[in-house]
Structure 1
């Protein structure tokens, strides 16, 4: 699944570690999501949506 997390994180001037702390996940999890190697759970997607002030659809795009 494609996502805009890296761009949104950069706009907020957050490191992967800082974002991970706010989401209560590891930095490796943030890295894997950014690279599309891991799709977040629905609760985590909602946390990202709230943190960035964007809808889930604005953050994630399905790769079909």
Structure 2
């Protein structure tokens, strides 16, 4: 977490929580992309799916 925490805004003092949220989101998107890729019999680019998942979270 320290590498992610250093990129968080320090004003609130909640860098740890923010870093965990960022990490959980990244892993959640990877999980969703992997499950979708497997469900599609490995067709397409898994990183493209990952990017789509991240874009969905970003809004």
- TM-score tier by shorter-chain length is 0.3 to 0.5
Which has the larger Rg? 2
**Greater RCO (CA < 8 Å, at least 6 residues apart):** 1
Q: Which structure has the highest helix share of the two?
A: 2
